[in-house]
Amino acid sequence: MDALHQWLLDSSEPWTRCRTLVDLLELPESDPAVGAARQELLEHPQVLALITAAASWEERPLKRHNDASHPLYALSTLADFGLKASDPGMSGIIEKVLAHQSPQGAFQSPVFIPKAFGGPDKEIWTWVACDAPTLLYALLQMGLADDPHLQQAADHLAGLAVENGYHCAAAPELGRFHGPGRRDDPCPIANLYALKALSLIPAQLEGVAARRAAEMLLAHWEQRRERKYYLFGAGTDYHKLKYPFVWYDILHVVEALSRFPFVQADPRFVSMLSAITAQADAQGRYTPGSMYQSWKGWGFADKKAPSPWLTLLVLRILKRSGFCKP
């Protein structure tokens, strides 16, 4: 084992140690070391606080989708850490999500869209393409792929992709609402969220929807100096390493893309990966270039020190893409 992997295993973060053992060193979940790290993860005060936050998901309407403090992102982070539907505290949260499924199949959230942006100017239960895929991703990651509710949601998500990827789609009750830009433009963040969810559906790994979403993200990188999709550019802020995965930035995009074998040899993907690895220090560790204030106190939100979790994420991407070995 090299010094970098040992540094990850020496981390005080049980989520980092657990994912290092499983994702990098390929130990089975039944291994005693994995079990010990996982138990510590489930009992950690910061993780317990995330579970409490996620449980309030239906009590707080989404007003903007880059609000990292919203319970939606507590839920997706728990999924990233490896929590399962059977873990303590998760069943009630999952029941709430499953109870709010639209007739179309997408999972709903409480959303507030002002009239000025084409919304009803009140809180309603509905879905748009930049929240429903995150709920689907979290539940798939937690092991519920065989649930009929998720299968319906997955079919609906795959069916939303058009020739140039995912647009700012929304539920019928929202009428003509759509985000900034032209109706025939793809929405980068919608493509990113969709791609993450599709990556957890084996039948979609080589599917048309995934290929369209991936091409949209890769083409935007290729054209980053000439094209900005309204709120979504690929400039200085985009290049900064940041977690949790909330918005449109390079680590989030590469994490999603790396899950698809058909992307991994694409020169545009390799270029994006190089832009990430160029940010490593002499020991191969990664330090956040940006942070969400609402996550202050977490190691991945400290811009002054290398982050074990960020380092694990990059090493996992490299391993997944065939650029390094455990």
**Which DSSP symbol is given to 108?**
P
Q: Which amino acid is at 172?
A: P
Per-residue model confidence (pLDDT) at position 1: 65
- Say whether 255 sits in a helix, a strand or coil: helix
Q: Yes or no: say if 100 and 111 are a contact pair by the CB < 8 Å rule.
A: no
pLDDT digits (tens, 9 = 90+) for 165-187: 999 888 988 877 776 667 788 99
Separation CA 8–CA 308 (nearest Å): 6
Give the pLDDT band of residue 112 (cuts 50, 70, 90): confident
What is the biggest distance separating any 2 CA atoms in the chain, rounded to whole angstroms? 57
Q: Which residues pair with 124 in a beta bridge?
A: 111
Q: Which helix (H) or strand (E) holds 212?
A: helix 208-222
Using pLDDT thresholds of 50, 70 and 90, give the confidence band for residue 130. confident
Would the pTM of this model clear 0.85, i.e. be above it? yes
CB 79 within 8 A of CB 134: no
250: number of Cβ within 10 Å: 21
Backbone φ and ψ of 57, nearest 5°: -55, -40
